[in-house]
C-alpha cells in the first residue's frame, strides 16, 4: 500500500481512472487532506462509500507520533517526532509579527558532520519520504496560531539537497494550490553547499528560495567547520551560486 500524500494531483487522477472513478474526486480528496486536515478516508463525507472503500484498500494516510513539545516565551515551538521505524526528527514553528514560518527536517540524522550542528552526532539514518516531510508540515500547521503557516524552510535535521527527489516533490505539493498552497517565494531550501543539487535546482524552473550555509569565508576555516568544503570548495561553490542566480534571477541568501 502507498501513502496517498506521495501522489501529485496528476498521479492521483491516474489512480482514480484505474479504479473507474471520476478524476474530479482527486481534488476533493486533496482538499480533505490539505485544507481540512482529515487523515481518514472514512471522514471524507462527500465521497461515495464505494470509493472510500477502494481508497482504503489501496492507500493509507500516514501521521507522525509526537514525542516531545517545547515552547519558548516568544511563541516558538520545537517538536520532536517519532517515525514508524523509531527514528526521531525535529520540526519548529517560528512566529513573527507578520508571518509564521515552519522549519522541517528532510533526513533522519545527517552525514555531513558540520562541527557547529548536533544533527549529525549520531550519524545518518535515512532519507525522509515525501509523505513524511508533508506530515511535518501538516502537524506544524495544526500547531500554529490560527492553523496557519505563511513560510516554510527546509532547514531542520539533514541536508535537503542530499535527498533531492523527495524534497522537490514535497516542495511542489506544499506550493500547489491543491496542496498546502504556500507561495514558491515563501519556500526556502537550505544547503551546506551540495553543488550538484544547486545545479539541478537551477534547472527546475521554480521560484523557491535557496539559502547556502557559508559560515566562513576561506577554505581552511570552512573545511574545519564543514567537511563538505573539502569536496566542494568555496571557489566552486560561489561559482555555482552565481550560475544559479543568473539562471533563476533569484537572490541567494548566504548564512
The DSSP code sequence of 119-135 is TTTT---EEPPHHHHHH
| Residues whose CB falls within 8 Å of the CB of residue 178, separated by 6 or more in sequence, listed in order | 9, 27, 30, 31, 34
Cα dist. 88→101, 106, 132, 154, 245 in Å? Answer: 21, 12, 12, 16, 35
In this structure, what C-alpha cell is assigned to residue 134? 508533508
Question: CA 74 to CA 141: how far, in whole Å?
Answer: 18
Give the pLDDT score at 32. Answer: 94
**How does residue 124 score in pLDDT terms, banded at 50, 70 and 90?**
very high
| Residues whose CB falls within 8 Å of the CB of residue 24, separated by 6 or more in sequence, listed in order | none
Note the Cα 115 to chain centre separation in Å. 24
Mean pLDDT of 201-214: 95
- Angle at CA 87, nearest 5°, toward 176 and 144? 45
Max intra-chain CA distance, the chain: 64
- Write out pLDDT tens, residues 13-64: 999 999 899 999 999 999 999 988 899 999 999 999 999 999 999 999 988 9
Question: CA 53 to CA 64: how far, in whole Å?
Answer: 23
**How does residue 125 score in pLDDT terms, banded at 50, 70 and 90?**
very high
Of 127, 73, 86, nearest to 105 by C-alpha is: 127
Are 4 and 55 a contacting pair, CB within 8 Å?
yes
Cα dist. 21→8, 26, 55, 60, 178 in Å? Answer: 17, 10, 11, 18, 19
Give the pLDDT score at 219. Answer: 97
Question: CA 78 to CA 91: how far, in whole Å?
Answer: 6
Annotate 141-165 with b (16+ C-beta within 10 A) or e (fewer).
bebbeeeebebbbbbbbbbbbbbbe
Residue 146 predicted with pLDDT over 80: no
Give the pLDDT score at 167. Answer: 98
What is the DSSP annotation of 66-125? Answer: EEEEEE-TTS-EEEEEE-TTS-EEEEEEEE-SS-EEEEE--EES-SS--TT-STTTT---
Place of cell 523527495: 166
Are 102 and 154 a contacting pair, CB within 8 Å?
no
Give the 3-state secondary structure of residue 140: helix
**How does residue 199 score in pLDDT terms, banded at 50, 70 and 90?**
very high
Amino acid at each position: 500500500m502507498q501513502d496517498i500524500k506521495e501522489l501529485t494531483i496528476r498521479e492521483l487522477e491516474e489512480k482514480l481512472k484505474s479504479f473507474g472513478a471520476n478524476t474530479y474526486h482527486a481534488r476533493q480528496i486533496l482538499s480533505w487532506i490539505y485544507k481540512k486536515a482529515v487523515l481518514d478516508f472514512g471522514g471524507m463525507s462527500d465521497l461515495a462509500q464505494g470509493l472510500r472503500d477502494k481508497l482504503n484498500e489501496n492507500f493509507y494516510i500516514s501521521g507522525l507520533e509526537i514525542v516531545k513539545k517545547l515552547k519558548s516565551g516568544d511563541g516558538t515551538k520545537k517538536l520532536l517526532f517519532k517515525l514508524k521505524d523509531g527514528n526521531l526528527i525535529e520540526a519548529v514553528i517560528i512566529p513573527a509579527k507578520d508571518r509564521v514560518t515552519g522549519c522541517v527536517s528532510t533526513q533522519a540524522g545527517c552525514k555531513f558532520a558540520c562541527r557547529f550542528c548536533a544533527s549529525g552526532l549520531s550519524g545518518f539514518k535515512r532519507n525522509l519520504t515525501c509523505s513524511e516531510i508533508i506530515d511535518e508540515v501538516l502537524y506544524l500547521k495544526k500547531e500554529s496560531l490560527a492553523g496557519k503557516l505563511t513560510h516554510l524552510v527546509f532547514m531542520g535535521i539533514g541536508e535537503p539537497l542530499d535527498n533531492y527527489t523527495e524534497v522537490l516533490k514535497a516542495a511542489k505539493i506544499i506550493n500547489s494550490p491543491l496542496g498546502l498552497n504556500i507561495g514558491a517565494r515563501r519556500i526556502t531550501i537550505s544547503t551546506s553547499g551540495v553543488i550538484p543539487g544547486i545545479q539541478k535546482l537551477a534547472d527546475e524552473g521554480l521560484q523557491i528560495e535557496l539559502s547556502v550555509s557559508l559560515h566562513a569565508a576561506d577554505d581552511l576555516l570552512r573545511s574545519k567547520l564543514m567537511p563538505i568544503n573539502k569536496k566542494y570548495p568555496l571557489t566552486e561553490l560561489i561559482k555555482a551560486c552565481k550560475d544559479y542566480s543568473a539562471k533563476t534571477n533569484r537572490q541567494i541568501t548566504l548564512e
